[in-house]
């Protein structure tokens, strides 16, 4: 090699340069390709599974309770009408619909537990000593169905989330249930998750009248033995309730 640098030295310097190129400004290594794939898959699953599970349970509960369904549809007709499709800007005014989804998050979480966290120091929570290094998991069912926090916790009652202020948010900062996680390690996309969940729910309610299929009397609200999803696929009868051109416009967009 030129300049008195041997081949071995050159390769060592080259390897060191490549290693530095894979580090950020603080000297920490960038994610590997496999790590990036895993993180991307985690984001996709969280984006799809949590909102779709909440919407599915909400629809199932509401079909079994026509008064709740009518109240939600009436709000949509009053706020949005039937001459146009519901838009993201309408979500702020759809208070009762947000209460329905919030109730679905409370009563029917997608996961039984929150992701585990490790205590970085000895601490005491609610009188319980938690030693440093302990792995702590929150029970989403234990929080959302806690009879000390909720009246008739096993009943689907969206009205329990309506406040005098008229404002309803899907997140729960007081940790009485878990929707998008909480704390510094909570979901970084609460706003996006809220929009995705509400738009899916609102479009389904606005676009169709939902009912129990002929021959049935109610939807079986039973959780799967392996998860908190519905044990059986949700089958309902859908009847269009808007003008045809609105469905065509939705498909084209």
Binding-site residue set for heme: 187
Q: Which residue has the tokens 């947000």?
A: 98
Could you list the residues known to form a binding site, using ranges: 187
How far apart are the C-alpha atoms of 123 and 93, rounded to whole Å? Answer: 42
SS3 for 210? strand
Contact 79, 94 (CB under 8 A): yes
Buried b (16+ CB within 10 A) or exposed e, 102-133: bbbbbbbbbeeebeeeeeeeeeeeeeeeeeee
Tell me how far apart the alpha carbons of residues 82 and 240 are, in angstroms, rounded to a whole number.
11
């Amino acid at each position: 090699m030129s300049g008195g640098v041997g081949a071995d030295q050159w390769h060592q310097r080259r390897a060191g340069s490549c290693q530095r190129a894979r580090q950020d400004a603080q000297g920490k290594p960038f994610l590997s390709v496999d790590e990036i794939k895993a993180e991307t898959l985690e984001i996709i699953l969280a984006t799809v599974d949590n909102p779709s599970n909440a919407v599915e349970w909400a629809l199932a509960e509401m079909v079994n309770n026509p008064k709740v369904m009518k109240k939600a549809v009436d709000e949509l007709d009053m706020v949005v009408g039937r001459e146009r499709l519901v838009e993201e800007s309408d979500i702020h005014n759809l208070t009762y619909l947000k209460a329905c989804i919030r109730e679905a998050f409370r009563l029917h979480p997608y996961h039984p537990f929150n992701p585990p966290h490790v205590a970085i120091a000895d601490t005491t929570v609610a009188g319980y000593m938690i030693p440093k290094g302990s792995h702590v998991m929150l029970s989403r069912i234990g929080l959302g169905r806690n009879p000390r926090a909720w009246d008739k916790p096993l009943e689907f009652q969206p009205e329990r989330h309506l406040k005098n202020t008229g404002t309803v948010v899907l997140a729960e900062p007081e940790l009485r249930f878990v929707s998008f996680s909480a704390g510094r390690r909570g979901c970084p996309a609460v706003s996006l998750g809220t929009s995705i969940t509400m738009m899916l729910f609102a479009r389904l309610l606005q676009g169709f009248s939902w009912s129990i299929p002929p021959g049935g009397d109610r939807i079986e609200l039973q959780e799967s033995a392996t998860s908190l999803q519905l044990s059986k696929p949700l089958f309902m009868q859908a009847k269009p309730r808007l003008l045809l051109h609105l469905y065509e416009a939705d498909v084209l967009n």
